């Protein structure tokens, strides 16, 4: 069930996520929470890249794709931009663009103002070959 939320907040996030979660295989609240933990994993992988210049692009893509499977891609992108620190939005936009998942708009951010990360783009393109 898709419910319209004008803007996500910490107060309405969990309800938004629950209402838009679509995993027929899910048998418990724990599985829902495990799927949401993927956001934290992506954050940690972005931090690792920023600090150590180690990009685990396949792992990041897998987490993003799984989130897009249990939410629709528009909702998953909205959740990711809401939950991931603004300083990593360029990293996120680069991955979403590479996967052809970047929506035209997201209420919480102005995508036109977010620069893709050219170094990540080069690394992803190199690894895709």
Give how many domains the chain has, as a whole number.
Answer: 1
Query: Would residue 4 count as lying in a domain?
Result: no
For residues 87-96, average pLDDT: 98
Confidence band for 24, pLDDT divided at 50, 70 and 90: confident
Residue 45 C-beta-side C-alpha neighbours within 13 Å: 20
CB-based burial label for 81 (10 Å; 0-12, 13-18, 19+): buried
Query: Would residue 100 count as lying in a domain?
Result: yes
Could you read off the pLDDT of 54-77 as tens digits, one per residue? 999 999 999 999 999 999 999 999
Q: What is the pLDDT, as a whole number, of residue 25? A: 82
> For residue 79, what are the domain limits?
28-128
Query: Would residue 64 count as lying in a domain?
Result: yes
Backbone angles phi, psi at 16, to 5 degrees: -55, -50
C-alpha 54/C-alpha 52 separation (Å) is 5
Residue pair 43/84 in contact (Cβ under 8 Å)? The answer is: yes
Q: What is the pLDDT, as a whole number, of residue 129? A: 67
Q: What is the pLDDT, as a whole number, of residue 4? A: 52
Residue of 65, 21, 20, 75 lying closest to 42 (CA atoms): 65
Query: Would residue 86 count as lying in a domain?
Result: yes
Question: Could you tell me what percent of the chain has a pLDDT over 70?
Answer: 96
Query: Would residue 61 count as lying in a domain?
Result: yes
Q: What is the pTM of this model?
A: 0.92
Query: Would residue 95 count as lying in a domain?
Result: yes
Query: Would residue 9 count as lying in a domain?
Result: no
**Would you say residue 2 has pLDDT above 70?**
no
């Amino acid at each position: 069930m898709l419910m319209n939320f004008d803007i996500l907040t910490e107060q309405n996030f969990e309800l938004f996520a629950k209402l838009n979660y679509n995993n027929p295989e899910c048998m418990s609240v724990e599985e829902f929470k495990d799927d949401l933990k993927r956001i934290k994993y992506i954050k940690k992988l972005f931090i690792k890249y920023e600090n150590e210049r180690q990009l685990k692009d396949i792992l990041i893509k897998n987490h993003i794709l799984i989130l897009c499977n249990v939410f629709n891609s528009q909702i998953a992108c909205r959740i990711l931009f809401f939950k991931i620190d603004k300083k990593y939005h360029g990293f996120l936009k680069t991955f979403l663009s590479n996967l052809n998942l970047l929506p035209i708009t997201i209420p919480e951010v102005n995508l036109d103002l977010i620069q893709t990360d050219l170094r990540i783009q080069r690394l992803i393109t190199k690894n895709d070959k």
